[in-house]
Chain A
Amino acid sequence: MVKIELKNLDFAYNGSMVLKNISHHFEQGKLISIVGPNGSGKSTILKCMDRILQPKNGTISFDERNILNFHADELAKKIAYVPQIEGGTFPATVFDSVLLGRKPHIQWSPRQNDLEVTASMIEKMNLKNISLKSINKLSGGQRQRVFIARALAQEPEVLLLDEPTANLDLKHQIAVLKVLKKLTEQGITVIIAIHDLNLALQFSDHFVLLKDGEVFASGEKEIITNENIEKLYDIKVNIIKQKDKIFIIPLS
């Protein structure tokens, strides 16, 4: 089932085209990795999908309905976004940060149900021992988990994450992606912008390769070929297949 569909999407920033005529659809319950060189438009595409940026032309639909027709709170209950870097000047506790994800659901004060959802996301993300700690005292990995927990507290159907594994060590990179993968089993569509191809290869169901603001190729693992990667990044690579796993080694 198609969850999000982009049709002829153009996005320009200060006159220069960042996304050019992008048409693509994202299937429900899949983990989709958007990969491509720096400046290829990965973050921009995510931000357009959550209406943070307004495309110049084209439409984005969620369940066949234009996202422009959603009320802000309504959209926030459907699509959640985790930015790459989040700069809060006055940090809150873990619990308060996650509770903020209930904002689209809360009228005036949080109800018992909001507290319960918050607590269960805290448990899910393995943060229960630090639920009253301030988030600026956490490690990068813990903080990333807090932001994912907050996005999950929105109870979205689509989760967009910009570089969720940046700044994380190997163990936490795997942990975060495992969690995301598990979410897809519950029917949540997870779309990530990611640089680490090997990590993406291990966990993703689908790939979108972006180059210069255009979809260069898309599909399952099969599209990750020497030819495609070399064209995408302008470097030589060696692709090693081991059992059903694929590894990419860049050659200088």
Chain B
Amino acid sequence: MSKEIIQEYKQFTTRKRLFIWVCIFLLLLFVVLGLLIGASSISLNNIIHIFTGNSEDINRQIILNIRLPRVLSAVLAGTALSVSGTVMQSILRNPLGSPFTLGISNAAAFGAAFAVIILGAGSTQSNVNDAVLINNPYLITISAFFWSLVSTVIILLMARFKDASPETMILTGIILGSLFIAGTTGLEYFAEDVELSTIVFWTFGDLGRASWREFYILLAIVIPSLFYFMSNRWNIRSLNTGDETANSLGVNVEKTRIKVMLVASLTTAVAVSFFGIIAFVGLVVPHLVRKMIGSDERFLIPATALFGGVFLLASDLLARSIIAPMVLPVGILTSFIGAPLFIFLLFKGKGKGIWLR
């Protein structure tokens, strides 16, 4: 009898594994598409030749130094945002848990504004290729990263001194988010035209800023944190059932919640400080995947990692081609796709519990 139950369960998990394989396939497909699509047309043959042979033409430059880092960074940024959103939702037991609800993105935007206006990092020039030329992009990135960590640390300190309950963290995050928006607005008020446009352009989530350097830094942060989340997946699952149950299952509740939050915030902060605010990915992707394969973190974490990569990469492809030869910042597109999608999920699931398989 119990064999039947196990058999059924194994079939059930096979479907989840299948979903992960489909995501891997889609990821490969979109990576190839990402290399193919662009302002100058380069054929698949040509691309294969670039990777295998050593042709030295301009196409090689385009593929290896522009498209490939952009495509791979899109995958990693999508992964970073989606996985962070997923684990934040689970450990905070809140469907609205995401890097954005926790104020991290707004803090990063404030950091960018701070760098431009106070530290004098940005000035804008219009030229044919790009609307913005930022004097010191790394100063902006570092400042954005620093302030998103400040926001995380404040949330964690609140948790330390009051309690590490999900409610405390979410509420602190929302309030901090508003505070940072106020801070940004304040800075903008005193900004000159050029500075103002630099800030505004920074806040558009845009993968056009991706180069190999960004990719390697992302890789160094995203892969270890994925491993960290995977090795903590049973703890994360336990936390989702409630603090008392988790405790009884041998989880150190506060420590785990704080550590996972810290790693998730760090991962998000890197992506946001490089590419600006790419909204909704961290919120919608986890919910989409939960809807498809359920909320078992053992499968959910790898599946959102992959699907998040596919989602952002596909969005970026669309952003690059929708009004070609102009390129739309992907953040605008993810908002336009993400918001209706979230509302759709909300309505479709009405009464049925949408966070389910």
Contacts and interface: CB of A to CB of B under 8 A. Distances in A.
B353 A137 contact: yes
B249 A52 contact: no
B3, B6, B93 — most chain A CB neighbours (10 Å):
B6
Interface residues of B, number: 38
A41 interface: no
A131 B9 contact: yes
Interface residues of A, number: 46
A62 B295 CA distance: 35
Given A136-B353, A136-B356, A91 B295 contact: yes
A179 interface: no
A122 B5 contact: yes
A106 B247 contact: no
B8 interface: yes
B349 to A, nearest CB: 12
A128 interface: yes
Interface string A23-52: 000000000000000000000000100111
B5 A103 contact: no
A73 B234 CA distance: 12
A87 interface: yes
Interface in B241-267: 241-242, 244-245, 247-252
Interface string B296-329: 1010000000000000000000000000000000
A81 B296 contact: no
A123 B247 contact: no
Contact of A90 (B4, B251, B290): B290
Q: Indicate the member of B3, B94, B245, B248 with the most A CB atoms within 10 Å.
A: B248
B227 to A, nearest CB: 12
Contact of A81 (B248, B295, B356): B248
Contact of B357 (A80, A103, A106, A134): A134
B12 A132 contact: yes
Contacts of A131: 5, 8-9
Given A96-B296, A116-B6, A52 B247 contact: yes
B342 interface: no
Contacts of A81: 244-245, 247-248
Contacts of A75: 250
Which of A52, A90, A93 has the most CB atoms of chain B within a 10 A radius of its CB? A90
B41 interface: no
A2 interface: no
A115 B8 CA distance: 11
B272 to A, nearest CB: 25
Interface string B230-243: 01001001101110
B79 interface: no
Nearest to A108: B231
A54 B193 CA distance: 58
Contacts of A122: 2, 5
Interface string A222-243: 0000000000000000000000
B294 interface: yes
A217 interface: no
A175 interface: no
Contacts of B8: 131-132
B249 A104 contact: yes
Given A90-B240, A90-B290, A95 B5 contact: yes
B89 interface: yes
A140 interface: no
B95 interface: yes
A73 B250 CA distance: 5
Interface in A109-153: 109, 115-116, 119-120, 122-123, 128, 131-132, 134, 136-137, 147, 151
Interface in A47-83: 47, 50-52, 72-76, 79-81, 83
B19 interface: no
A13 to B, nearest CB: 13
A123 B94 contact: no
A106 B252 CA distance: 16
A92 interface: yes
Contacts of B249: 76, 100-101, 103-104, 154
Nearest to A97: B241
> Top 3 closest A-B pairs, CB basis?
A76-B250, A119-B2, A90-B295
Given A88-B93, A91-B295, A154-B249, 14 more contacts: A47-B244, A76-B249, A86-B242, A90-B240, A90-B290, A90-B355, A96-B296, A103-B237, A119-B5, A120-B2, A128-B5, A134-B357, A137-B353, A147-B245
Interface of A: 47, 50-52, 72-76, 79-81, 83, 86-93, 95-97, 100-101, 103-104, 106, 108-109, 115-116, 119-120, 122-123, 128, 131-132, 134, 136-137, 147, 151, 154
5 contacts: A86-B245, A90-B240, A103-B237, A131-B9, A132-B12
